[in-house]
Amino acid sequence: MTRILIALALLLSGVCAADDWPDVPVPGGVKKEWVADRMVFNGVAMRIFTYNYDAGVDALRDFYINAWDRDGQDHKQSRQGKWWVLSSLRGDYYTTVQITDLGGHAYAQVGVSRISDLQTSAPPGEGFPVLPRSQIISDITAEDAGRPSRTVIVSNQHSVGSNYNYYLNRYRSKNWTVVRKNLDQARRGASIHLAKDDREMSIVIKREEGSVNILSVEVRP
């Protein structure tokens, strides 16, 4: 779930061999923590990593501004709440660096997106079943522990019960086995866990602020 939340916060991303991506400079001595080096967010290839920097927010902002200036790269920066957001476009790749103070040191989230994919990618949610008048919020494919996964988030105005019955019947008709299921008595939430061959799927349905959100996670061998 952490991977999903960071991806949504940074927006855009995808699947590509690591050697094809541009190097994003980092200060000496920092340790990068990879959130995802192979991800597709709404059809766009992306990589995400984070790190801490002891010299602080201002020093880290200066580091990127100076690095991009030396390379002749155009760049922008803006303040969004407690975060500084720096961005730069180079060829087909768009880099976003989000920086905030975390207990006296800087914390950075770095995302690189291959924006050329916007012209050729399939629409988000393609092939995923939904009730009429549903909206695809996000569609993420990634690889976790060597297993490909797909996470789709959908929103609609149908009831929790209608969504629950729709997905339960839909996947049963496709020969999926229902491992466990639950629809709470107040019908404000439901969950379905399924399996087929070596594939696994979890669907969580929840009513929030007048709409119903569906989170589906499928893991393949």
Please state the length of the chain.
221
Compute the distance between CA of residue 118 and CA of residue 111 in angstroms, rounded to an integer. 16
195-206: average pLDDT: 97
Q: Is the pLDDT of residue 87 over 60?
A: yes
pLDDT digits (tens, 9 = 90+) for 1-13: 344 444 444 433 3
Give the per-residue pLDDT at 6: 47
Q: Is the pLDDT of residue 180 over 70?
A: yes
pLDDT digits (tens, 9 = 90+) for 127-176: 999 999 999 999 999 876 678 999 999 999 999 999 999 999 999 999 99
Quote the strand ranges of 91-133, DSSP E.
93-102, 105-114
pLDDT digits (tens, 9 = 90+) for 15-49: 333 447 888 999 999 999 998 877 888 888 899 99
Cβ(85)–Cβ(96) under 8 Å? yes
Token readout for 31 is 């340790």
Cβ(140)–Cβ(128) under 8 Å? no
Strand 135-144 with 33-41, pairing? antiparallel
Instruction: Work out the number of other CB atoms within 10 angstroms of the CB of residue 147.
Output: 13
181-198: average pLDDT: 95
Q: Which of 38-47, 64-73, 103-112, 122-131 has the lowest mean pLDDT?
A: 38-47
Give the per-residue pLDDT at 2: 42
Cβ(129)–Cβ(170) under 8 Å? yes
Give the per-residue pLDDT at 36: 82
Give the per-residue pLDDT at 221: 87
58-81: average pLDDT: 95
Helix (H, G, I), strand (E, B) or coil at 19: helix
198-221: average pLDDT: 94
176-195: average pLDDT: 96
pLDDT band at 104 (very low <50, low <70, confident <90, very high): confident
pLDDT band at 123 (very low <50, low <70, confident <90, very high): confident
Q: What is the pTM of this model?
A: 0.66
Computed over every residue of the chain, the mean pLDDT equals 88
Give the per-residue pLDDT at 17: 37
Helix ranges (H only) for 2-133 are 2-10, 57-70
* DSSP code per residue over 155-202: EESS-HHHHHHHHHHHHHHTT-EEEEEEE-TTSSEEEEEEEETTEEEE
Measured CA distances, 12 to 2, 61, 114, 173, 214 (Å):
16, 22, 8, 34, 21
Taking Cα atoms as reference points, which of 75, 77, 79 lies closest to residue 67? 75
